[in-house]
């Protein structure tokens, strides 16, 4: 069976409550334009409930078909972790997804593969689908270390997961040099790394499982470059930052993956 394409909007630390509501309503009203593509909105944690309400989410099911996700979470279920959000809290508000190990978490907040691994396991245990992010820096790419870096991140972030768990996750390949820079990877550059990730998943689980896992590309995806990325055999969707803040752009990208 073909992998269902998945386009997720990572709003990062942007918008206010009114704008979050407005953007959600605009996407939900036009979801039909992106028929066949799964859409996920990942607002700041504080606005997850606002977006859930705007989607009329009840019990994790949205009548509009737009799914909801967190941008990060703690790996512990509860306790003295000031400022953190527990996996079950996202589930409680109707989230199905959570982005983990985004390069901004890795570089600005010191998240290691071991931390991403603990969070990935916690997300799965809570019933959330983790979107596990990996990707090399410009220096690593120019030094010819892309494959080695991505291999280490995939193996480290997914260490100890069963084949059944690997089947449930989404992986996002986001070259750090392409995030928020306007410099998108060429479709061939992206495809090469996506194929590598799929072969790593085959080694960790099985070729059959690897064939079911969706691998998103992220990094300066826009409506005008999405179609070329979408043509690649191992690119199953996009994780979109800047362009997800405009309904037109977000839906334009989703349409390219139909």
Q: In terms of Cα–Cα distance, which of 249, 256, 247 is closest to 54? A: 247
Contact 257, 7 (CB under 8 A): yes
Give whichever of 90 and 250 is closer to ligand PGA, judged by the CB atom.
250
Q: In terms of Cα–Cα distance, which of 146, 71, 163 is closest to 111? A: 71
Give whichever of 102 and 198 is closer to ligand PGA, judged by the CB atom.
102
Q: Cβ 232 to ligand PGA, closest distance in Å?
A: 17
The answer for residues whose C-beta is within 8 angstroms of residue 106's C-beta and 6 or more apart is 112, 116, 133
Q: Which stretches of the chain bind ligand PGA, using CB under 6 A?
A: 10, 174, 179-180, 218-221, 239-243
- Bridge partners, 130 (sequence order): 98
Residue 112: how many other CB atoms lie within 10 Å: 13
Contact 201, 209 (CB under 8 A): yes
194 as an active site residue: the answer is no
Q: Cβ 245 to ligand PGA, closest distance in Å?
A: 9
Q: Which of 111, 136, 140, 174 is catalytic?
A: 174
Tokens representing 21? Answer: 């509501």
- Bridge partners, 42 (sequence order): 10
C-alpha–C-alpha distance, residues 200 and 204, integer Å: 6
Strands 6-10 and 38-42: parallel
Quickly tell me which residue has 């996506």 as its tokens. 194
Q: Cβ 71 to ligand PGA, closest distance in Å?
A: 9
- H-assigned helices in 30-101: 48-54, 87-92
- Cβ-proximal residue to ligand PGA, closest one: 241
Q: Which of 102, 111, 136, 194 is catalytic?
A: 102
Give whichever of 128 and 179 is closer to ligand PGA, judged by the CB atom.
179
Calculate the alpha carbon distances from 248 to 34, 85, 119, 222 in Å: 11, 31, 33, 10
Give whichever of 73 and 209 is closer to ligand PGA, judged by the CB atom.
73
Q: Cβ 11 to ligand PGA, closest distance in Å?
A: 10
Per the rule left: phi > 0, alpha: psi between -120 and 50, beta: everything else, 51 is alpha
> Could you list the active site residues?
102, 174
């Amino acid at each position: 069976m073909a992998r269902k394409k998945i386009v997720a909007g990572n709003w990062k630390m942007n918008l206010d409550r009114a704008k979050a509501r407005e953007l959600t309503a605009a996407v939900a009203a036009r979801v039909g334009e992106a028929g066949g593509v799964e859409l996920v909105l990942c607002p700041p944690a504080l606005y997850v409930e606002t977006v859930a309400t705007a989607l009329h989410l009840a019990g994790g099911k949205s009548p509009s078909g737009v799914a909801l996700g967190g941008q990060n979470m703690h790996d512990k279920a509860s306790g003295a972790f000031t400022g953190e959000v527990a996996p079950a809290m996202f589930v409680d508000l109707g989230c199905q997804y959570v982005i983990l190990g985004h390069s901004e978490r890795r570089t600005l907040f010191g998240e290691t593969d071991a931390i991403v691994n603990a969070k990935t396991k916690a997300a799965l245990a809570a019933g959330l689908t983790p979107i596990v992010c990996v990707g090399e820096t410009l220096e690593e790419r120019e030094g010819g270390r892309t494959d080695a870096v991505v291999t280490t991140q995939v193996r480290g972030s997914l260490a100890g997961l069963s084949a059944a768990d690997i089947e449930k996750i989404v992986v996002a390949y986001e070259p750090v040099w392409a995030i928020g820079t306007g410099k998108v990877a060429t479709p061939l550059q992206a495809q090469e790394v996506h194929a590598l990730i799929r072969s790593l998943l085959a080694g960790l689980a099985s070729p059959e499982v690897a064939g079911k896992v969706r691998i998103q590309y992220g990094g300066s995806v826009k409506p005008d470059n999405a179609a070329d990325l979408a043509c690649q055999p191992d690119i199953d969707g996009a994780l979109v930052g800047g362009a997800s803040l405009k309904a037109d752009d977000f839906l334009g990208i989703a349409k390219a993956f139909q």
